[in-house]
Amino acid sequence: MKFPDSFIWGAATSAYQVEGAADEDGRGVSVWDVFCEKEGKILDGSNGKAACDQYHLMEEDVELMAEMGIQAYRFSLSWSRILPEGIGAVNQKGIDYYNRLIDCLLRHGIEPFVTLHHWDLPQTLQEKGGWMNPESVSWFGNFARIAAQAFSDRVKHFITFNEPQCFIGLGYYGDYHAPGLNCSMREAFLAAHHVLMAHGQAVKELRKYGKQPLQIGFAPAGKFTYPKTDSHKDVEAAKKMLTDILPLEEWWWSMTWWSDPIFLGKYPENVAEKYKDILPAATKEDIELISQPVDFIGQNIYDGRMVECGKDGEPFFTPEPLGFPHTHIKSPVTPEILYWMPKFLYERYQKPVVITENGMSNGDIVSADGKVHDGCRIAYVERYLSNLKRAVSEVPVKAYFHWSLIDNFEWAYGYQERFGLIYVDYPTQKRIIKDSGYWYRDVIASNGECLP
């Protein structure tokens, strides 16, 4: 069995993690530039100033993508490269860079998928309050308009936000990610509300200024679940845990808190009721803006927890057996999640699904033969994709994006975690396609037929 003919096999990155050239051609400062300078925030004391230098090595990277047969590249725009101050004057050199990248991709037959925002807010906007400032809705709308005007003649697919859960939960409420505010829970909920409104505003601007009919989505994270067996009881138990109220300290991982307002036009009642004392007032107009129609559900999916139905009829998390596999970054390996989550998402939101990220970090080492034999990654992706293959025979899944195309700056972990299909020797910026990259080429060439 193959995947549908229209299925798209892609790979993903984000601007701050790969571009480098942080001080070149008029790019403004982002919150991540500032955060990386704080003592002790990045495990290896590094930053994204050079990263994998894709800004200069873009053509080589696109050629490597073509060599692997990659059909779509999901990358993000650096807001401060395009608008150094976040609002106001446009930096033409920033626009030129993305034009070169888009044109180069298209010359190689690779479809660009553009994420507007992958965590790197311009620092000047953070200094104005960032996402806590209600004006952030129009700042982001303005940025979306500029992106539509500049790129939508050639770019059909846009994603508004990548994983707002992380910058709100880990970066606003927490201080593990930029900007590291340690704000109150009330402020975090307010910022999240503005992000959702900014998403809606961006959808409006993209539709208004788009030069062709666009396909627009959103790429959240979440805490996912899957059932221990296919039995009705376990499946219902997994769904209940997926939509249940999370403890206050974790609410931002809730799938429903972010996706229900967008796709169903309302905040989930169970959570809204429980935390009503600290929630911002959401008007009917706010919700209308948030729930602008979008075309697909983007979802980053790495892992989930197994759930079963107890003898008393109550769901519970199945304990992990001893020696359960984990990746280098300590994520559990749960391939079934790529079967169950597309089904749960489609059932709840009734839109085609795009897996906007999935992949693993590995302790990759270059062998004496000069190659990178990352058998672990092949085992991981093969098992996840086999589950996805089962899902596509039941629900519409449009595309899969491997995270990541290339090893890169892994946020608070610096360069210690390697997620790429392409290995990077950072001191020389030399690239090596890993065994998994060649294996992925074969999967793409057979349109998934070679997957078990």
For the chain, give the longest Cα–Cα distance. 64
407 binds ligand BGC (CB under 6 A): no
User: Token digits for 78?
Assistant: 């650096």
Identified catalytic residue from 205, 357, 382, 417: 357
Closest to ligand BGC by CB, 260 vs 357, is 357
Total residues in contact with ligand BGC, by rule CB under 6 A: 11
Is 336 assigned a catalytic role? no
Cβ–Cβ contacts within 10 Å for residue 411, how many?
24
Q: Which of 163, 187, 382, 417 is catalytic?
A: 163
User: Is the distance from CB of 346 to CB of 396 less than 8 angstroms?
Assistant: yes
- 115 in contact with ligand BGC (CB under 6 A): no
Q: 225: which 2 tokens?
A: 């679940």
Nearer to ligand BGC, 152 or 165 (CB): 165
The 3-class SS string of 327-396 reads CCCCCECCCCHHHHHHHHHHHHHCCCEEEEEECCCECCCCCCCCCCCCHHHHHHHHHHHHHHHHHHCCCC
260 to each of 193, 271, 297, 389, how far by Cα in Å? 13, 11, 11, 26
Closer residue to ligand BGC in complex, CB, 111/303 = 303
Indicate whether 403 belongs to the interface with ligand BGC (CB under 6 A). Answer: yes
Helix (H, G, I), strand (E, B) or coil at 397: strand
Which DSSP state fits 8? Answer: E
Contacting residue, 120, 357, 407, 435, with ligand BGC by CB under 6 A: 357
Cα separation, 129 vs 116, in Å, equals 20
78 binds ligand BGC (CB under 6 A): no
- Find the shortest distance in angstroms from Cβ 254 to ligand BGC: 16
φ/ψ region of 155 (left if φ > 0, alpha if ψ in -120 to 50, else beta) reads beta
Of 290-329, which residues contact ligand BGC (CB under 6 A)? 300
The distance of closest approach from Cβ of residue 358 to ligand BGC in the complex, given in angstroms and rounded to an integer, is 9
Nearer to ligand BGC, 170 or 279 (CB): 170
| 127 counts as catalytic | no
Query: Which string of x and - marks every residue 211-250 that binds ligand BGC (by CB under 6 A)?
Result: ----------x-----------------------------
Instruction: Provide, rounded to whole angstroms, the least separation between the CB of residue 116 and ligand BGC.
Output: 14
Closer residue to ligand BGC (CB): 117 or 145:
117
Q: Please give the residues from 157 up to 216 whose contact with ligand BGC meets the rule CB under 6 A.
A: 162-163, 166
* Binder of ligand BGC out of 105, 410, 422, 439 (CB under 6 A): 410
Least gap, CB of 240 to ligand BGC (angstroms): 25
Shortest Cβ 342–ligand BGC spacing (Å): 18
CA angle 431–434–440, rounded 5-degree value: 120
Distances (CA, A) of 414 to 22, 277, 303, 429: 16, 38, 21, 16
Residues 6 or more apart whose Cβ sits within 8 Å of residue 225? 238, 239, 241, 242, 304, 305, 306, 307, 340
Nearest approach, Cβ of residue 165 and ligand BGC (Å): 9
Of 17 and 136, which has the nearer Cβ to ligand BGC?
Answer: 17
Contact 95/82 with Cβ under 8 angstroms? yes
Closest to 336 in 3D by CA, of 377, 299, 305? 305
Minimum CB separation from ligand BGC for residue 300, in Å?
6
Q: Which is nearer to ligand BGC, 83 or 166 (CB)?
A: 166
Shortest distance, position 219 Cβ to ligand BGC, whole Å: 7
From the CB of 32, what's the least distance to ligand BGC, in Å? 11
- If binding is defined by CB under 6 A, does position 14 make contact with ligand BGC? yes
Q: Which parts of 36-65 interact with ligand BGC (CB under 6 A)?
A: none
Distance (Å, rounded) from C-alpha 293 to C-alpha 296?
9
Q: Which is nearer to ligand BGC, 14 or 30 (CB)?
A: 14
Between β-strands 315-317 and 304-309, what pairing exists: parallel, antiparallel or unpaired? antiparallel
Q: Is the peptide bond before 84 cis (omega within 30 degrees of 0)?
A: no
d(CA 285, CA 229): 43
Q: Which residue is nearest to ligand BGC (CB)?
A: 163
Q: Which CB, 340 or 419, lies closer to ligand BGC?
A: 419
Contact indicator for 358, 302 with CB cutoff of 8 Å: yes
Residues designated as active site: 163, 357
Question: Contact residues for ligand BGC (CB under 6 A)?
Answer: 14, 17, 162-163, 166, 221, 300, 357, 403, 410, 419
